[in-house]
């Protein structure tokens, strides 16, 4: 197997498994809803991984990108506009514009300063959404209906929505993978490793990082569009720093070495959370302990387990 194919095999196999899931005993409404939620969050995690693993930008405000996409659905729904051909581009553009405006400031910093600035921008978005009394304020907004696709109610069908989510996740991962493998991605990684050396070679890291930030924000907006349609409800809680922290933890849990880590981390996070919530009333305690253990004993995340086991076997 070629090295490039071997490196991306986990993502390809996982996407294939998600596509086959409805035919392997996971075709019930509840399971399809759960998998759709996991895949949408995986989209957001992949877009965040593009920043964290590709550019070294650890954002604590990435949930705001999803929030802008979700609230674009809400605002257009209130205006009576439900055609996905209009709503989806608007959601992507709104999230991308927010990323451009905030990234132009945040990316001039680095390290903990970047983390704190993105956290501050995320909280600004959260409090702004909470003040939108016309769209439910703190109580949130219930959609009248899901978006239609050129007049067709495709998103209302659970199975069709499942495959739309699979396709959107695959497209998000593929786009991120192509970006990182391109000249653009090589400059990003060079600036991540040594910004001064990249500048000495004639590459100003700022426009590359800002472009990556805007692309990741647009991907988050697309995830927000799907999330709003999946839940048929949008609230400021979707933009909170806790959600941003969850997305960041999904990336770390899966492993930052590749975008496939975000896929594995997001799906593992959501499915483990759901399973534990049905086992014990105080499941969050055990969930937190398991996540801490994963960070301590899986330095390369869940995606690094095969290599870690191989090293142990060779000893």
With CA atoms as reference, report the closest residue to 91 among 76, 69, 63: 69
How high is the pLDDT of residue 305? Answer: 77
pTM: 0.91
Over residues 219-257, the pLDDT tens digits come to 999 999 999 999 999 999 889 898 998 999 899 888 887
The confidence score (pLDDT) of residue 7 equals 64
Mean pLDDT value of segment 17-43: 89
Residue 176 has pLDDT above 50, yes or no: yes
Q: Which H or E run includes 234?
A: strand 233-234
pLDDT value of position 312: 67
- 146 pLDDT exceeds 80? yes
Structure confidence at residue 1 (pLDDT): 44
pLDDT for position 298: 79
206 Cβ neighbours under 8 A, 6+ residues apart:
107, 108
For the segment 128-151, the average pLDDT, to the nearest whole number, is 89
More confident residue, 285 or 65: 65
pLDDT at 15 > cutoff 70: yes
Average pLDDT over residues 161-170: 95
Among 137-141, 167-171, 279-283, the least confident range:
279-283
For residues 10-17, average pLDDT = 89
Query: Average of pLDDT values for 15-37?
Result: 88
Which of these, 49, 55, 18, lies nearest to 170 by C-alpha position? 18
Task: Give the pLDDT band (50/70/90) at residue 278.
Answer: confident
pLDDT at residue number 5: 58
Residue-number span of the structural domain to which 73 is assigned? 3-314
Whole-angstrom CA distances from 40 to 27, 118, 281 are 18, 22, 26
Cβ-contact 57, 108 below 8 angstroms:
no
Q: What is the pLDDT of residue 120?
A: 95
Q: What percent of the chain has pLDDT over 70?
A: 97
Domain count, the chain: 1
pLDDT score of 4 more than 60? no
Q: What residue has token string 């990234």?
A: 103
Backbone angles phi, psi at 142, to 5 degrees: -95, 125
Residues 193-203 have pLDDT tens digits of 888 888 888 88
Average pLDDT of 261-283?
85
Q: Which residues contact 143 (CB under 8 A, 6 or more apart)?
A: 73, 74, 77, 228, 229, 232, 233, 234
Residue 54: per-residue pLDDT: 86
Instruction: Read off the pLDDT of residues 65-77 as tens digits, 9 standing for 90 and up.
Output: 999 999 999 999 9
pLDDT mean across residues, the chain = 88
Measure Cα distances from 175 to 46, 67, 145, 179, 249 in Å.
Answer: 10, 21, 30, 6, 22
CATH number, domain at 158? 1.10.3470
Could you tell me which residue, 98 or 12, shows the higher pLDDT?
98
pLDDT digits (tens, 9 = 90+) for 54-67: 888 999 999 999 99
Give the residue from 71, 35, 70, 55 showing the smallest Cα distance to 216: 55
């Amino acid at each position: 197997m070629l090295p490039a194919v071997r490196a991306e095999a986990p993502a390809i196999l996982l996407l294939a498994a998600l596509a086959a899931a409805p035919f392997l005993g996971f075709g019930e409404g509840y399971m399809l809803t759960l998998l759709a939620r996991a895949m949408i969050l995986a989209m957001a995690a992949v877009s965040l991984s593009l920043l964290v693993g590709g550019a070294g930008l650890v954002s604590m405000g990435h949930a705001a990108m999803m929030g802008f996409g979700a609230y674009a659905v809400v605002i257009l729904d209130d205006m009576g506009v439900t055609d996905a051909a209009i709503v989806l581009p608007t959601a992507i553009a709104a999230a991308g514009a927010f990323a451009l405006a905030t990234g132009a400031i945040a990316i001039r910093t680095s390290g903990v300063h970047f983390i704190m600035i993105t956290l501050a921008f995320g909280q600004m978005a959260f409090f702004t959404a909470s003040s939108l009394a016309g769209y439910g304020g703190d109580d949130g907004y219930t959609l009248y209906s899901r978006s239609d696709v050129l007049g067709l109610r495709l998103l209302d069908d659970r199975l069709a929505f499942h495959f739309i989510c699979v396709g959107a996740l695959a497209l998000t991962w593929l786009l991120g993978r192509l970006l990182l493998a391109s000249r653009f991605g090589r400059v990003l990684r060079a600036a991540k490793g040594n910004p001064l050396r990249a500048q000495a070679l004639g590459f100003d890291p700022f426009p590359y990082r800002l472009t990556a930030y805007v692309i990741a924000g647009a991907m988050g907006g697309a995830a927000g569009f799907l999330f709003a349609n999946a839940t048929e409800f949008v609230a400021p809680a979707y933009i909170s720093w806790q959600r941003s922290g969850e997305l960041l933890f999904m990336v770390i849990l899966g492993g930052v070495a590749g975008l496939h880590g975000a896929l594995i981390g997001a799906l593992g996070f959501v499915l483990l959370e759901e399973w534990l919530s049905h086992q014990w009333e105080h499941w969050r305690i055990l969930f937190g302990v398991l996540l801490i253990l994963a960070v301590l004993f899986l330095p390369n995340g869940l995606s690094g387990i095969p290599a870690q086991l191989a090293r142990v076997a060779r000893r």
